[in-house]
Chains A and B, each alone.
Chain A
């Protein structure tokens, strides 16, 4: 992978997946991966495969559910959507993330 792309921070992928599903509604794995790449402006180096363990993790927590369906090109695919718990969880996860990000930026701000 190119040196100009940054690796996905551990744990952030989950939130990206959740936000994607919130924005786009039910989506299959490929769609989620492409969407994340597009939103990040191709800056993130994402092995598309890694979203599958992430999806499983979210599903195990009950934040995401999945079912088999047909894609717009009529291909059989597994579609993921947010569950009720997942929808509520987004807020909490967002807050978490913002807190971390704020802390980080305080560290990174020029010291005075």
Chain B
């Protein structure tokens, strides 16, 4: 009660400080007057009366101070005074303040933005129960390990392993799918989803928000007419209607019943059936889940296809290594017992590893780079602070001579750095938002990118980082400068100069660190940029200009479920329907004005190797494992024309092949691998149990991946009309109008197909190297920032040392030294940190380059161009940075220099 009353009174007084001061002044004046009056009465002279009164009173100023301490909120008052003082000081040196603020804003902001991406993509746990215990397993076959180290899973092997392994709690099998979904009004849309075994949701620990999960019996043929929607799909397709359960959704043209809606928080990242392929895309991409129904032969056959992915949950306390060895053992034992000719194995990987795969390294590289930039920025801060501390030595000395305690002085510096840190932190939050937008825009193909966002903890991180940086790198130099002895500091400048040799040394050391960082960063940037420019400028052996791609999805039932036609058991109805659709579409596309060629292929270009199969010769058998592998592509006549791939020998497909589609065109590399030293034209290969005659050789082209030529064998689309045809049109018309035209034409052929992708070939190329571009652009930004910081650092040190040596230079000049010699003196000052920093930086680059070697494409980690250029750029920048200090040094007027101080 008492305490509260006192506090209230103090607070009241705090805000009425000035009036109360006047009151106190008057009260004390009256007091003295009373005393003087009394003393006079006692017969003292007026002068003596006054001194006596004052002596008996004690110090008036001390009383006032004690009174004020008792009255208001002294802590707050001194703090406010310090704040005001700090603000005044900062306003007096705007260059310093702005540099520090910018450094903090850019440094902390950039680190926060990059960290938020690293966190969202690599660190954040997946949105299901205990994701650390979830693993993915895949199979391997020793005989083809050199080609494809890891295979998707075989259904029968999955059942066997799941039944016998003790190291796992449960295992679910799944297959990625696209579903053509229609609400019956609009053109159907393609929705991605998964076909899953019924235990999938319980394994992940997810209970549907509405309805139920799949029942075990729903994984049987004919019982699988149910779907489960994600929250997002429920909102999108049913507008969040609460009566969604039991509603019908046409999936692939078939009516299906919605039996469940998943909770809002549930997300499952995009998975790749093939191992080691980077997955990309939103974790909200999978919208529809269906029961996985195995083909009847898959339950029994050991050599059925490897088509699935198995996700398993480990038993508590079981390590991945243990699970791996148990599963691998079971697999090998079973294979041996079954007398299989191939050697099977199992490889278990953490789920996170499976999703982020190869993307981890580039992301950590970026994070390391941004930390390097931050470190350099901090070094600059420390440098600035040291210089500032020295410049303020006089003032500090004066204050301490006037009685300011160390704590009081320290508090002042603390407040100044807190102000800078807090302001910088707020700026950093703003900058982080901006930078994060840019990052996510330029890195659209990272996995889980939609989960990247600047959360509150992230923003606190930015603020904390800025505060910690400004305090850490501001206070330490400040502590140093507070050790000043007032006496020596107040004496003439000669002692100051000698005392500052040490400060100059530490500043030079800091600059050396800075240069080392920037050399490393510049070299890494140069390596990555060179690798990227190789990627861009290498001959792709195909031409992307003026080509637009449109992918149509023919998964509706009329295109997939057709019985065999009685007259011709080799052809089924669905295949004919696809054939007819593609034929008609090609006819109409070719009729478009300005079209030079129109064609179809079975796989989207630049999406990696897919449909890889062996090219088997009957006349020249080779042992298993040595059969040349190649990508199977079904194409139409005109494909090579549209893609700009040249035919080296033979002919393209033409109408002749419609009746007899058992012909094949080989890419050059495939031809050489399968027919070494022979002319393949006229020879035959076997595929799917049929015999195909080689009619042409096409040039190698990088149609799957810009980094290397793809081995391909092309078959006419009439042989197997692709269920997901990609139409290519090369036209003299503008690309912008061509896309919508193609969409219109495809829908005019069949309004019930979905067209998930329409994209120009150029955009597709750009998309395929988006990660590399992202990496290059961001690293270039960091490299540029590093260079700038290094220039600022060098400039700062030189300019400062010149200003300290003004007098010395003046004397030298007066004694007859010429300008060139002075300039050399200044440059000499910079040379030792330059050289030391460069050597350190080269060492650093050697270490980092080893680590990033796998990211480099046709670029050696010791690329002389990259290293030479980086060093040259840095030297040039350093020279530039020393230009102004050198000019200042050489333009010193000896007379004026000697007169100062």
Listed in ascending order, the chain A residues whose CB lies under 8 Å from chain B are 28-31, 33-34, 47-50, 52-53, 56-57, 59-62, 71, 73, 75-78
Contacts and interface: CB of A to CB of B under 8 A. Distances in A.
Nearest to B68: A53
A48 B56 contact: yes
Interface in B547-601: none
A26 B6 CA distance: 23
A53 B27 contact: no
Given A48-B31, A76-B30, A61 B67 contact: no
B34 interface: yes
B169 to A, nearest CB: 68
B35 A56 contact: no
Contact of A30 (B5, B34, B59, B62): B34
Given A60-B9, A62-B5, A53 B34 contact: no
B30 A52 contact: no
Interface in B57-112: 57-60, 62-63, 66-67, 69-71
A6 to B, nearest CB: 16
Given A28-B31, A29-B31, A77-B27, 7 more contacts: A31-B34, A49-B66, A53-B66, A53-B69, A61-B2, A61-B6, A75-B33
A57 B70 contact: yes
A28 B59 CA distance: 19
Contact of A52 (B5, B6, B10, B28): B28
B26 interface: yes
26 contacts: A28-B30, A29-B30, A30-B34, A34-B38, A47-B56, A47-B57, A47-B58, A47-B59, A48-B56, A49-B28, A49-B57, A49-B58, A49-B62, A52-B63, A52-B66, A53-B63, A53-B69, A56-B67, A57-B70, A60-B5, A60-B9, A61-B2, A61-B5, A71-B34, A76-B30, A78-B27
Contacts of B34: 28, 30-31, 71, 75, 77
Contacts of A50: 58, 63, 66
Contacts of A71: 34
A53 B70 contact: yes
B37 interface: yes
Contacts of B31: 28-30, 33, 48
Interface residues of B, number: 29
A76 B33 CA distance: 11
B24 interface: yes
A27 to B, nearest CB: 11
Contacts of B67: 52-53, 56
A75 B66 CA distance: 25
7 closest A-B pairs by beta carbon, nearest first, are: A47-B58, A49-B63, A30-B34, A49-B58, A60-B9, A53-B70, A30-B31
A33 B56 CA distance: 10
A99 B528 CA distance: 84
A68 to B, nearest CB: 9
A28 B32 CA distance: 12
Nearest to A37: B56
Contacts of B37: 73
A77 B58 contact: no
Contacts of B57: 47-49
Contacts of A59: 9
A52 B28 CA distance: 9
Given A47-B58, A49-B57, A49-B58, A77 B30 contact: yes
Contact of A29 (B2, B5, B27, B70): B27
Interface of B: 2, 5-6, 9-10, 23-24, 26-28, 30-31, 33-35, 37-38, 56-60, 62-63, 66-67, 69-71
Contacts of B60: 49
Contacts of B56: 47-48
Contact of B26 (A48, A49, A57, A76): A76
A53 to B, nearest CB: 5
A60 B35 CA distance: 27
A80 B329 CA distance: 96
A56 B27 CA distance: 12
Given A47-B57, A60-B10, A75 B70 contact: no
Contacts of A61: 2, 5-6
A102 to B, nearest CB: 25
Contacts of B2: 61
B68 to A, nearest CB: 9
Contact of A75 (B9, B28, B30, B62): B30
A52 B58 contact: no
Contacts of B63: 47, 49-50, 52-53
B561 to A, nearest CB: 91
Nearest to B60: A49
Nearest to B65: A53
B102 to A, nearest CB: 47
Contacts of B33: 75
B10 A30 contact: no
B6 A60 contact: yes
Contacts of B6: 60-61
A47 to B, nearest CB: 3
A29 B60 CA distance: 14
Give the residue among B6, B24, B30, B60 with the most A Cβ atoms within 10 A.
B30
B560 to A, nearest CB: 89
B30 A48 contact: no
B592 to A, nearest CB: 91
Contacts of B69: 53
Given A49-B59, A49-B60, A56 B70 contact: yes
B71 A56 contact: yes
B709 to A, nearest CB: 88
Nearest to B3: A61
A57 B66 CA distance: 11
B40 to A, nearest CB: 12
A30 B56 CA distance: 11
A77 B27 CA distance: 6
Nearest to B24: A52
A52 B27 contact: yes
A78 B28 CA distance: 10
B495 to A, nearest CB: 41
B66 to A, nearest CB: 5
A78 to B, nearest CB: 5
Contacts of B28: 49, 52
A53 B62 CA distance: 11
